[in-house]
Structure 1
Amino acid sequence: MNLDDDTDDGTALLSVKLLRLFDLLYSTNSVTRAAEQLGQSQPTVSNWLGRLRRQLGDELFVRTAAGMQATPRAEELIVPAREALASLRRLAAPAQAFDPSSATRRFRICMTDASHITLLPRLLAHVRAVAPGVRLEAARIDEQSAQALQSGQADLAIGLVPWLESGFYQQVLYPQDWVCLVNARHPRIGGKGFSLRDYKAEAHVGIVGGTGVQLLEAALLRQRVVRRILLELPGFLGLAAIVSTTDLVATVPRHIGETLARTGELKVFECPVPVPPFTVKQHWHARYHQDPANRWLRGLCEDLFAKRAARPAPKRNRVP
């Protein structure tokens, strides 16, 4: 359907105004009343009717004592004409707002297991309060996350995901630096603090999963610090139980460290090795930037997790 073409070369498609005229003439049986409803003069509408007749190859409406009566050809075309107008109205209508209170859908969020501990409980509690019909699903962040976000199989990715490039938006939620977790009753580490010498002397538990581990390993290599690792874990599940019952040290991002320490069994120390900080961001594909449901979820995560001091606008990644 051509919305703007008003040419009269015998091949042009009907414009919206001619479809509206056709509908109004059929309903009112009057050029005068059709002109009033269209906000046009009667001579203008008469010209439009002439164009409509030429394009459709039929008189369409003929003058009678009862007004402008439709021809058989007009009777044949009125239903598809009205269907076309209805379709155009749906296309031009604004996107339907997302109502969390009545929504019944699933949101899939790619995140690390650290976020399962630090972010997911708070997010779930809020969703249950404001969107009781919404279901959440946590998925891993991996090499498939980009395709999942593009296809709509996943809605958001939250974390450090530096490989998401062209076609994705990102928004900073909060910064992360590094801390060390130790047993609150550690036999050698207490009120005197935690030095680099202590760090080198103590045994460690290493987290080998997560997207931030490369930053830690690179910093240790630059500083020529070699940890004596007695246990490796694929993620943060079980870390609090391990550290709180042993003398092992765990080097972790601050958010997960402080969250685990709230149990009262762990103490948090600044990491004595300079490790570059990073930012936790939420990421989504450009296809869903204006999607009402996706916008609601992103806004919710921003309200719950973004630092209040500075909330930078979303930025779209582009190919250099």
Structure 2
Amino acid sequence: MRFNKLDLNLLVALDALLTEQNISRAAEKIYLSQSAMSSALARLRDYFGDELLVQVGRKMELTPRAQALQDPVRDILVRVDSTVSAQPDFVPAHSDRVFRLHLSDYTMTTLMPHVLALAYQRAPGIRLELRAQIMHPHRVLERGEADLLIIPKEYCSVDHPAELLLTETFCCVLWDQSPLAKGEMTAERYLAAGHIIVQPGAVHSALEDGFMHKLGIERKVEVTTYSFLSPAQLLPGTNRIATMHRRLAQEAARSLPVVLRDAPVPMPAMEQSMQWHKHRTSDPGLIWLRGLIKEAVVVMDHAHDDERL
């Protein structure tokens, strides 16, 4: 099929080439032979009057024209895929659909056990691929590589719809034998102590660290770690403090010799949201999954409330 003299089948090859920037990998991605992909690239170069991919040293790089095509071509294919693959109905009990979610280890530990338990009851045949958070998470939505993101509101893209899931506060976590665990946790004691903080690596810096910088609060950082789960595990045997998401800290306190204290410095709450591609707003399966996740938040917080009674 052709549109404006372009064979539309070449759009799939073009997307793979622009994404992989390698003829062999692009061919593997869409199940073509390398010679067929080379032929497709030659036809694309002829149509656009541009090299698109050029050899620079040992790798290939996109030309400016190719860079300008990258997002529009992906958007077209995602729009077509969401239109063609959308089912008029979604029957959870009979579905074997795969849902791909990007989330942090905070969400993995606190919320996802409740999501999976509800999903197992109502849709035992569905599969969930839980993937690590990445820098610029909206890009995996736009490439059609994720169905849903669960991320802080600050990191949501303005180009796609999002919905607030929960509000999270922060607290101090300390080894229960530390002198800091006794008496009032004042701002002076907090700032004088050594701290364990999270620097998630490839993703954005931790929100609580960003809050501290905005408020002009300088902590004495003695340990940095890449995981939101690990600070509480690194506290026992030390007089250090970790400032953690409260729900995650409560999970840690179940099994570790740690205690929780209110933060003595002003800490804005984190607003955790879920985001999906604008072309998939009416997808019945995603509508069901989003509703299930919101229900899981209620179940999670009821469980925490029961523990405090």
Q: 1:103 Cα deviation (Å)? A: 1.1
Assess if the C-alpha contact under 8 Å between 2:114 and 2:299 holds in 1: no
- Aligned residues: CA RMSD: 2.8
* Alignment of structure 1 residues 1-320 onto 2, 5 Å: 95-190=87-182, 192-209=183-200, 213=205, 215-263=207-255, 265-305=257-297
Q: 1:283 Cα deviation (Å)? A: 0.8
Q: Which residue of 2 aligns with 1:47?
A: none
Measure, in 2, the Cα distance between the counterparts of 1:284 and 1:274.
32
Assess if the C-alpha contact under 8 Å between 2:174 and 2:232 holds in 1: no
Q: 1:264 Cα deviation (Å)? A: 5.2
Measure, in 2, the Cα distance between the counterparts of 1:245 and 1:300.
40
Q: Which has the larger Rg?
A: 1
Assess if the C-alpha contact under 8 Å between 2:233 and 2:256 holds in 1: no
Assess if the C-alpha contact under 8 Å between 1:174 and 1:306 holds in 2: no
Percent of paired sites with the same residue = 25
Letter of the 1:195 partner, please give it: T
Letter of the 2:168 partner, please give it: Q
Letter of the 1:160 partner, please give it: P
Q: Deviations over 1:239-283 (max 9, x none)?
A: 332123432210122222222223252211111111222211111
Assess if the C-alpha contact under 8 Å between 1:174 and 1:307 holds in 2: no
Assess if the C-alpha contact under 8 Å between 2:174 and 2:180 holds in 1: no
Give ranges in structure 1 of 5+ residues lacking alignment. Answer: 1-90, 310-320
Measure, in 2, the Cα distance between the counterparts of 1:202 and 1:98.
53
Structure with greater proportional helix content:
2
Q: Deviations over 1:26-61 (max 9, x none)?
A: xxxxxxxxxxxxxxxxxxxxxxxxxxxxxxxxxxxx
